[in-house]
Amino acid sequence: MDFCVLGKTGMLVSRLCFGTLTLGPLQANLPLEAGAELLIEALDKGINFWDTAELYRNYACLRLALKKTGAEPVIVTKTYAYDAKGAKASLEKARHELDLDVIPVFMLHEQESGLTLEGHRRALEFLSEARERGYIKAVGISCHTIAAVRAAIHFPELSVIHPLINYGGIGIKDGTAAEMIGAIRGAHEHGLGIYAMKILGGGHLSGAPEKAFKFALNLDCLHAIAVGMASRDELNVNLCYMQGLKPPAQAIKRLAGKKRRLKVETWCIGCGKCVAACPQRALALRGRAKKSAFVDMERCVLCGYCGAACDEMCIKVF
């Protein structure tokens, strides 16, 4: 596994980041022990960089893996908090549920622009103060927009960005892949640590994974790439792609038969909360009475955020 320093944070991270959204209830919902064992296997194979979020509801899985190994991976988590009170609650929740005194990277989740960042100014100030007090090592943002990447360089509190990029530009809300790369290069030149999300376009580019990995790995402005994994096959295949190796044919065959999709269960009440939560505008209420949600799989990137907004637990990624 190749490693690099994550921008000006000074933290040494594996170039493959384990995206843990897949482990929790919004996606594969693995049993606690199974999720922890997969994380431990990833650690054994050199992956010391884990991405999570309060939204993902999987802290217990990460905590168990940490307890079993005594390892100290670089963990990123995120909050939607917009004020100091909310940011404090999110930080304390992460520290308690992960059983960590210090969170390596704490992010504001899904920022869209400089205006959005200003709207979260109080939360950002709290996180910066928490960093000064030693509870956080670095502060950052995750984003699906070019505007947020460009804005980040004007906020000295920020040292890490987690942007969406893939060769098809799938999921970028305000421009093209080329424009996003230009924004990422600008942030990289300012010393920010940058690790990419959705290099497979939420599954839309899974038919050409080698191309997707090569595209991301050839971007010298990325320190790492985060990929969601929920099985040993996915872990081993992704490690092969990271090293430019051909994955085992049997593992590829098994994964090819596992196409992921978003499912809306029949008990959907049509409340519309999922529609509002979808960053890709892939959901809508359908029918004359608009009693259930409908997903446009051409737009969906399988992030699972709609499921987190559903009080009825009727949306799942399979």
Q: Which domain holds residue 267?
A: 262-317
110 lies in the same domain as 218: yes
Structure tokens at 32: 């606690």
144 lies in the same domain as 23: yes
241 lies in the same domain as 299: no
Domain count, the chain: 2
Cα–Cα nearest to 108, from 100, 119, 93, 95:
119
209 lies in the same domain as 288: no
pLDDT of residue 131: 98
CA 299 to each of CA 129, 143, 226, 289: distance values in angstroms, whole numbers, following the listed order: 38, 17, 20, 24
pLDDT of residue 301: 85
158 lies in the same domain as 289: no
Single residue among 256, 271, 306 that ends a domain in this structure: 256
206 lies in the same domain as 300: no
DSSP state of 248: P
pLDDT one digit per residue (tens) for the chain, 318 residues: 899 999 999 999 999 999 999 999 888 889 999 999 999 999 999 999 999 999 999 999 999 999 999 999 999 999 999 999 999 999 999 999 999 999 999 999 999 999 999 999 999 999 999 999 999 999 999 999 999 999 999 999 999 999 999 999 988 989 999 999 999 999 999 999 999 999 988 777 877 899 999 999 999 999 999 999 999 999 999 999 999 999 888 888 888 766 677 888 777 889 999 999 999 899 999 875 667 898 998 889 888 788 778 877 688 766
pLDDT of residue 289: 62
232 lies in the same domain as 273: no
Looking up residue 47, the CATH number of its domain turns out to be: 3.20.20.100
Single residue among 256, 276, 302 that ends a domain in this structure: 256
Number of neighbouring beta carbons within 10 Å of residue 236: 15
110 lies in the same domain as 245: yes
pLDDT of residue 202: 78
177 lies in the same domain as 295: no
Compute the distance between CA of residue 266 and CA of residue 230 in angstroms, rounded to an integer. Answer: 26
CA count, 13 A, side-chain hemisphere, 68: 18
Looking up residue 300, the CATH number of its domain turns out to be: 3.30.70.20
Single residue among 233, 256, 279 that ends a domain in this structure: 256
Compute the distance between CA of residue 76 and CA of residue 149 in angstroms, rounded to an integer. Answer: 18
**If 0-12 CB within 10 Å is exposed, 13-18 middle and 19+ buried, where does residue 121 land?**
middle
47 lies in the same domain as 177: yes
138 lies in the same domain as 266: no
pLDDT of residue 64: 98
pLDDT of residue 288: 58
231 lies in the same domain as 289: no
